[in-house]
Chain A
Amino acid sequence: MRIRGISSFQNNDPLYIVDGTPVQDSYINFLNPEDIQSIQVLKDASAASIYGSRASNGVIVIETTKSGPVGPPRATLRVRTGIASPTRGLDDMLLTNSLDYFQVMKATYANAGQLASMPKTYGDPNNPTVPNYTYADAPAILSTDAYGRVVTVDPSKYSYPNTLIEPASAGTDWWKAVFSSAPVSDYNLDVRGGGDANAYAVSFNYFDQQGTAAYNDYRRGSVRVNTSFNRSKFNFGENIALTVDRHVGGTGTFDDASGENGVLGKDILLQPIVSVYDISGVNFAGAKGVPGVNSSNPLKNAWDAKDNINKDNQVFGNVFAGFDLNPQFSLKSRLGFNLQQNSFAGFGAPTPQNNEAQLGNSINENNFNSTDWTLSNTARYVKTIHSASLDLLVGQEANAGTNRYLQGSINNLLNTGLDSRYIQDALGDPTTKNVFSSGGRTALLSFFGKAGLNFADKYVASFTLRKDGSSNLGPAHRWGTFPAVGLGWRISNEPFLSNNRIFSDVMLRYGWGRTGNQNIPSGRIVSQFGGDRGDTFYDITGSNTTIQPGFRQASLGNPDLKWESNKSTNIGTDLVLFNGVLNVVLDVYNRLTDNLLFDPRTPATAGIASPPIVNIGKMSNKGYDFSVGHTGSWWNASLNGSHYANKIVSIDGVQTQFFGPIGTRIGNSTINMVGQPIGSFYGFIADGFFRDAADVTAHALQDGAAPGRIKFRDVNGDGVINSSDQTIIGSPHPKFTAGIDLGAHRGQWDASATIFGTYGNKIFENQMDFYVFQDFSSNVVKDRLANSWTPQNLNAKYPRLDITDTYSGAISSYYVKDGSYTRLRSMQVGYTLPSGARYLPGARVYLQGENLFTKTNYDGLDPAIPAGNFTGAAGDTRDQAMGVDVGVYPTNRIFSIGIVTSF
């Protein structure tokens, strides 16, 4: 979730305020969506600044259901169940027939004049056949043919894992082998009620989504208890949610940072000739003996990880007490807390059937605990005199967090059963046992005040001042001051616009404010030293089996660390037109981040210690948001749109660029460059293919230039293609995003739909490295052969197939694709059963479809690319690697049926 662009090189998550308690979290999975009563996104600094520290990236205020109507308990049951299936599969893109693959391979070798060196897997290149077996260990081989292929085997010699027999496949559809549709269900029960002096809401939720990838399951259960009590002038209560979630299996939403180690990558990398199972029909087959394939069977991968379990337990909530002295003056105290525990236990299985066989097993587990509390005390004074009102708020807030992480591993378990997967000397090889722990601490202290003025509902003003202290910053610079002003003028209340037929209500708004950011790892104000057995320890005695301890500087501290500040100006208007026929909200903003917290690289001559974090960069975001809505008697519609333009104004005054965090087989495709948006794509400009030898000669000197290969532009015109010709080749940032919400109800029927679109953003289709450029003899796209360059097909989609072409796959605009799409995110049709029917309470039943339809020109698997998980020494750096397709699980299309009933 990003609000109004990206303000920093790292850590751009917004601040969530859940029932008054702040939490910075990328996913906020612990909230049951059904518990949410309201969500308010504070984009404008004048509104957000009361949350001062940490409000730089916007604030999302979430209130959960507080109470029910006065009266006896009222229960609402919501049940939804459905089927999810991927919107698109790789088998829609890639070859699934072995002999088709052979034809691609043959052209790849033949075009390079290397047919003689081609592996003989398919026998005679002019009369290719799928072999009986791709591999058998020597004891099982009875006969081989002239090409060295195993023809007959003795199945009785088969023994896993020592003597393997791997039958060849005429064509394995690896997508279908791993992915299928899977059930989703969601159950909610809430009970609410209350009396004059109390109110309560209790809810239970259970959510279960089986993975569309084999052997994956996600389950979440939560309980929420919200209560409040009044006792004369006092009120007090609590809001607490307990959430437990379990993710079983090896896959997440994001495959992995290199695009080849997860199930999706392996699905691309494995050729169709590899079978799913070996001759036993029980054990998985692998690519052993298939030349060039280094990957492993994705279904085996999923199976091996089927007992991997990721557990999250969380208690989040607050207790509060208030005192209303009189209608004007009130006090409130709130203690918020967030206790989190996350653990993981995983298994690494042997892979004897792979070319790069792993022979041993291993287990690893980790445990992360964090405790975070926030105590806030506020006093409020509200006074109305005639048509003017004053609203004063002063307060104080203290926040502290600690966390601790512990991980361990051991290899070569004697028994790999689930009951034996523990890290103990006797259970595995004790010499491989390894443990590690780490931790962090932070504290924040704040004082704030806000004054709101309203004159005749015509002139509105608010003034905020906040002082925040952070333990992450230098002792002399811990405190930051964050002021904000908001001004509003309701013109429609002026005489000249009163009773205007067009403008029923017109509010003009201006806001200015400064917010802060101190979200960097703790403890970076002093230099840190450390060591690691793989980095600083050394066998100085020449024993070949023992190492002596060594130390080095691990990071450079900066005692002058101070707050990053974000100045933002907002001009907006709220319009109600034609007596409420149309509601329009329009905002234009300009945000400038200054003293940006960042760790600019130092030259290697200063060593590999993490460079100091300094307040040095500048980043700008300008844009607009709008929404237009209509609420009619039986239908409503709204359109919202937004645009932002992000620009790096300065990095450190010296550097003009630095690379993003992504590193794949082809290198790093994103860069942060002054004057450009964060995480822009960077490489050569591809200018089609070399037409012929004359074209090669005429072009600037380019390594490996040959007809049919990609021609790179000589950007600096020096006659040589080299590093200096790399340039910005695209931006992952959309020019415009839009959402449309539609709703209608007629009699017992209702219907709604949500459409989302993003336009002008580019995707760097990194997976082309595999399915176009055949890295590691990967499987390829279906039209790789038909649409390849040949002297007769000069305007082909793909370069010439050529085993010696290691040049065309360099990072270039050839990988950059239009990532725009429009997607029907959800559509629902409901019918409300009349209440009062005998034996049946009133109920609404509905049918829902999600992600039913997508319109895009992107030819990769799915244009909706979530941000990856990247962390640098200064924190979360995912915003520097947006829009890079390194294998993303395609969005699921979900059909479900639901019922909501109250009793």
Chain B
Amino acid sequence: MATVSKKSLLRGMAVTILATAVLYGCKDFLSTASEPQGTLDATTLANRTGVEGSLIAAYRTLDCTDATSGNWGCAVSNWVFGSVAADDSYKGSSSTDQPPINDIEGYHWGTPSADTYLNQKWVIVYEGVVRANSTLRLLKQVVAASPTEYSPTEANQVAGEAIFLRAHYHFEAYRMWGNIPYYREDDQDFRKPNIESAAVITEILKDLDSAIKLLPTSPRNGQVGRADQWTAKAYRGRVLVYAHQWPAAVTQLKEVQANGPYALETSFDRVWSAYQDASNGPETIFAYQASSNDGEPNAANANYGERLNFPYSPSHFACCGFDPPSQNLVNQFKVDPVSGLPLSITAPATWNSDESDFAAGDMTPVDPRLDWTVGRDGVPFKDWGNFTNAWVREVVNAGLYMPKKIIHEKGSGAESTVGWQPQQQSSINIHIYRYADLLLMLAEAEVETGDLAGATAIVNQIRTRAGVFAQGPGTSRADMAIPINDPRITWAHYQIGLYPVFPDVATARTAVQTERRLELAMEGQRLFDLRRYGTFIPVITGYLRGVGGGREDTRKAYKLTAELPTARHRWYAIPLDQIQLSQVGGQDMLKQNTGW
């Protein structure tokens, strides 16, 4: 008995040892388990699907890409860097909420806190560059390996889109920091030194020239989110204006004006609208194509970066009270009761003297765009009922108003149903470049080249459109936008007058710049415009310390600790984090901007 069981046990043991020996011999034991799980590999994507997907991802970085945290620093509208840091808006919310914006608003751009926001912007523009460059590399690889995947024409078009996007992302970086490194698809060294701002412009123009050659004249596949040749031409004009290359800018922008597919919307309410039928209208040159209820569980594509800028509780939106328009901006919309021209032009010493809440019932004549731009007490808020001051989160920080352009209409159905606080997320497209912006840039260039009549015509074209419709009662879509003299308007007196031909360059400059502020208010352009004009220091100093009879450091006590802008504010500080990461052999490859 005992021997039998002993034998079987011995046999069992032998089997075990044998099984182990198989494992020894089997080299695959380790390598099989080394395969990554649940990911794609490079081979799977080396085809048309991969190229197209890579390009789509390059478009996606127009807004921040990650929905998990801290997206306000790279919002597509640049509201932090372009509006709050200029004279359009305050940070808003609570004093301690999102502390980096306190430092950006206070012009303390070198603090560790400000650095975190600046870093987000840097990270996302270069992620855009990386995705555009990956697309170009993959395209080359696919075209070489399997020529049937793309016709030569279409391959060029894909390359054109990627090169255009690369130019756009570098331009975003240029507007922020001026002196930046430029990356193309064959670059291997990610610690390149930055180049001078003028050289950056040259590189951007080089890419735009290539894109113009490669791109089709209408969006590929008829997909309106794509850049086409006209987008690239319009963009080239924009870059030339930023570069003060005035004659070239006039030529380029006039070509787009004369032959391009763009036009102004018939009325201003359609410029910022979440109605699908108003989306990607004739005025859109390039926009972030937002989408809501698209299956993404956190509403990451539904303007995640803009979501803080909605009225607070007890409004429908419930959060978060950021980016409220400044008193200075509200006063900017007041017009001369006789000429209907901006009060800041007709009464430069007093236009900004009104300190009080500009509420419904105050019949001071105003530009109708005020009530498409600013939510104010007692005035219908698109079709959401009347705005009330109770919707402001904390008056001490935020003042009395809230932004309005990015607010979707209730009737549009564009609101998200998912995510944290879905009421502040919608599929309203965010303009990156619209035709009114282009026209005003053309006017700017015409002033500088002496075509004052041309500039006057454009400003008046913009003002004429602005005078078509004002905010109506908003009980339905039908009465949300109504003629500016409609008797149903009881809360305001709207008026807008046209300019006689500008008599001289100085007058023309002021008029064009003022018009641009009114037309593009709260669209994240203001700081970059002021820099381009070269008036950032005096305008912001006036904003804080007194201009037109009012000063923000008495309106908002926290502004007393703001640093007055100096030469170093010509550019934002390059994120310290990135400077450290650029080190090679202990040397910083990225050079910090002067003064930071």
Chain A residue with minimal CB distance to B392? A291
Does B112 have its Cβ within 8 Å of any Cβ on chain A? Answer: yes
How many residues does chain A have at the interface if contact means C-beta atoms less than 8 Å apart? 126
**Complex interface residues of chain B between 173 and 197 (CB less than 8 A to chain A):** 181, 183, 190-192
Q: Does B31 contact A (CB under 8 A)?
A: yes
Known: A232-B2, A294-B94, A551-B40. 11 other contacts (CB 8 A): A323-B9, A333-B17, A437-B38, A471-B33, A542-B280, A550-B57, A605-B181, A608-B65, A704-B561, A769-B96, A809-B96
- Given A536-B56, A602-B581, A654-B584 in contact, is the A776-B290 Cβ separation under 8 Å? no
Within 8 Å of chain A (Cβ to Cβ): is B513? no
Nearest residue (CB) in B for A606 is B190
The interface centre, meaning the residue of B34, B99, B300, B584 with most chain A CB atoms within 10 A of its CB, is B34
1/0 per residue, CB under 8 A from A, across B1-24: the answer is: 010011001101100110110011
B296 CB-CB contact with A under 8 Å: yes
Complex Cα gap A144–B368 (Å): 34
CB of A1 closer than 8 Å to a CB of B: no
* A471–B26 alpha-carbon span in the complex (Å): 13
The minimal Cβ–Cβ distance linking B249 to chain A, given in whole angstroms, is 28
Contact of B96 with A538 in the complex, beta carbons under 8 Å: no
Closest CB in chain A relative to B121 CB, distance in Å = 10
B130 at the interface (CB under 8 A from A): yes
Interface string of B279-320 (1 = CB under 8 A from A): 110000000011111111110110000000000111000111
Instruction: Say whether A777 faces chain B, with CB atoms less than 8 Å apart.
Output: yes
User: Which of A472, A606, A777, A809 has the most chain B CB atoms inside 10 A of its CB?
Assistant: A606
The stretch among A505-513, A659-667, A759-767 that forms the contact with chain B is A659-667
Return the contact of A539 from the options B2, B9, B290 (Cβ within 8 A): B290
CB distance from B116 to the nearest CB of A (A): 7
- B489 located at the interface, meaning its Cβ lies under 8 Å from any Cβ of chain A in the complex: no
- B296 interface neighbour in A412, A533, A769, A774, Cβ under 8 Å: A533
A531 within 8 A of partner (CB): yes
Least CB distance, A676 to chain B, in whole angstroms: 16
Interface 9-mer from A14-22, A353-361, A731-739: A353-361
B550 at interface, CB cutoff 8 A: no
In the complex the two chains form, is B34's CB within 8 Å of A551's CB?
A: no
A360-B417, A706-B561, A777-B94 are known contacts. Are A603 and B578 too (CB-CB below 8 A)?
yes
Docked Cα-Cα span, A398 to B25, in Å, equals 12
Say yes or no: A666 contacts B99, CB within 8 Å. yes
Quick one: given A109-B396, A321-B13, A534-B296, are A524 and B36 in contact (CB under 8 Å)? yes
Structural contact, B396 and A443, CB atoms closer than 8 A: no
Min C-beta distance of B394 to chain A, whole Å: 6
Interface residues of B in 546-594 (CB under 8 A from A): 557-558, 560-561, 563, 576, 578, 580-586
Q: How far is the CB of B65 from chain A (nearest CB, A)?
A: 5
In the bound complex, CA of A331 to CA of B507 (Å): 99
Those 6 A-B pairs whose CB atoms lie nearest each other, nearest first: A523-B36, A534-B300, A550-B56, A607-B130, A550-B57, A443-B33
Q: When chains A and B are docked, how far (Å) is the Cα of A434 from the Cα of B97?
A: 31
Q: Quick check: A544 and B115 within 8 Å, CB to CB?
A: no
Within 8 A of A (CB), among B406-428: 414, 417-418, 420-423, 427
A543 contacts B by Cβ under 8 Å: yes
Q: Determine whether the beta carbon of B134 is less than 8 Å from that of A553.
A: yes
Is A114 within 8 A of B396, CB to CB? yes
B112 touches A726 (CB 8 A): yes
Selecting from B144-152, B219-227, B333-341, the interface stretch reads: B219-227
Contact between chains at A551 and B9 (CB < 8 Å): no
B126 neighbours in A (Cβ, 8 Å)? 604-605, 607
State in angstroms the CA–CA spacing of A409 and B298 once bound together. 11
Contact A544 B414 (CB under 8 A): yes
Against B, the Cβ 8 Å flags (1 = close, 0 = not) of A433-456 are: 010011111111100000000000
Decide yes or no: A806 and B99 within 8 Å by CB, A113-B557, A535-B66 being known contacts: yes
Bound-state CA distance A478–B30 (Å) is: 8
> Are B127 and A396 touching (Cβ within 8 A)?
no
Q: Is A38 an interface residue (CB 8 A)?
A: no
Contact B31 A471 (CB under 8 A): yes
Asked if A835 is at the interface (CB within 8 A of a chain B CB), the reply is: no
Q: Offer 20 A-B interface pairs, CB within 8 angstroms, sorted by A.
A: A119-B394, A292-B394, A356-B313, A375-B23, A431-B417, A445-B30, A471-B32, A478-B30, A537-B294, A537-B301, A541-B289, A542-B224, A544-B279, A551-B50, A607-B126, A608-B127, A663-B69, A773-B96, A776-B96, A810-B112
Contact bitstring B33-59, A, C-beta under 8 A = 1, else 0: 111111111101100001011111111
Q: Which of A98-130 contact B (CB under 8 A)?
A: 109, 112-114, 117-119
A409 touching B17 by the CB < 8 A rule? Answer: no
A654 — nearest CB in chain B belongs to which residue?
B583
The answer for the CA separation of A291 and B95 in the assembled complex, in Å, is 12
Out of A291, A524, A806, name the residue touching B102 (CB < 8 Å): A806
Q: How far is the CB of B317 from chain A (nearest CB, A)?
A: 10
Q: Looking across the interface, which residue of chain B has its beta carbon closest to that of A557? A: B36
- Which of B79-87, B103-111, B350-358, B532-540 binds A? B103-111
Chain B residues near A289 (CB, 8 Å)? Answer: 313-314
Q: Nearest CB to that of A117 among chain B residues?
A: B396
Contact A703 B127 (CB under 8 A): no
For A528, give its contact among B41, B60, B585 (CB under 8 Å): B41
Chain B 210-245: CB-based contact to A (< 8 A → 1; otherwise 0):
000000000000011110000000000000000000
Give the contacting residue for B420; candidates A291, A358, A548; CB below 8 A: A358
- Residue numbers in A under 8 Å from B17 (CB-CB): 333, 377
Q: A544-B290, A806-B99 are in contact. Are A603 and B191 (CB under 8 A)?
A: yes
Tell me which of A445, A547, A655, A706 contacts B29 (CB under 8 A): A445
Closest residue of chain A to B416, judged by CB? Answer: A432
Instruction: Report A276 CB to chain B, min CB distance, Å.
Output: 20
List B contacts of A810 (CB < 8 A). 99, 111-113
- Enumerate chain B residues within 8 angstroms of A444, measured Cβ to Cβ: 30
Q: Which single member of A231, A544, A667 contacts B9 (CB below 8 Å)? A: A231
B38's partner among A434, A439, A605 (CB-CB below 8 A) is A439
- Answer yes or no: B457 CB below 8 A from chain A CBs: no
Q: How far is the CB of A64 from chain B (nearest CB, A)?
A: 23
Closest to B559 in A: A804
Give the contacting residue for B33; candidates A135, A442, A535, A549; CB below 8 A. Answer: A442
Q: State how many angstroms separate the Cβ of A431 from the closest Cβ of chain B.
A: 6
* B189, closest chain A residue (CB): A605
Q: Is A411 an interface residue (CB 8 A)?
A: yes
With both beta carbons as reference points, the residue of chain B lying nearest to A357 in the complex is identified as: B318
**In the complex the two chains form, is A359's CB within 8 Å of B34's CB?**
no
Is the beta-carbon distance between A522 and B37 smaller than 8 angstroms?
yes
Q: Tell me the A334-381 residues at the B interface (CB within 8 Å).
A: 354-360, 375, 377
Which residue of the partner chain B has the closest CB to A551? B53
Q: How far is the CA of A538 from the CA of B130 in the complex (A)?
A: 17
- A545 x B95 contact (CB < 8 A): no
Q: Are B301 and A534 in contact (CB under 8 A)?
A: yes
CB pair A536–B41 under 8 Å, yes or no, is no
Contacting residues, chain B, for A720 (C-beta < 8 A): 110
* B461 in contact (CB, < 8 A): no
Question: Which residues of chain A have C-beta atoms less than 8 A from B294's C-beta?
Answer: 533, 537, 539, 545-547
Binary contact track A619-657/B, C-beta < 8 Å → 1, others 0: 000000000000000000000000000000000001111
B561 A804 Cβ-Cβ under 8 A: yes
Q: For residue B581, which residues in chain A have a CB less than 8 angstroms away from its CB?
A: 601-604, 655
Contacts of A777 on B, CB cut-off 8 Å? 94
B59 engages A540 (CB within 8 Å): yes
B276 at the interface (CB under 8 A from A): yes
Contact present for B37 and A605 (CB under 8 Å): no
A93 within 8 Å of B (CB atoms): no
In the complex, the chain A residue whose C-beta lies closest to that of B28 is A443
A604 touches B127 (CB 8 A): yes
Q: Are A723 and B111 within 8 A (Cβ)?
A: yes
B159 to chain A, nearest CB (A): 17
Q: A443-B32, A533-B295 given as contacts; is B131 within 8 A of A607 (CB)?
A: yes
Query: Which one of A137, A232, A432, A703 contacts B417 once the chains associate, using CB atoms below 8 Å?
Result: A432
Name the residue of chain A whose CB is nearest to the CB of B40. A529
Residues of A within 8 A of B143 (CB): none
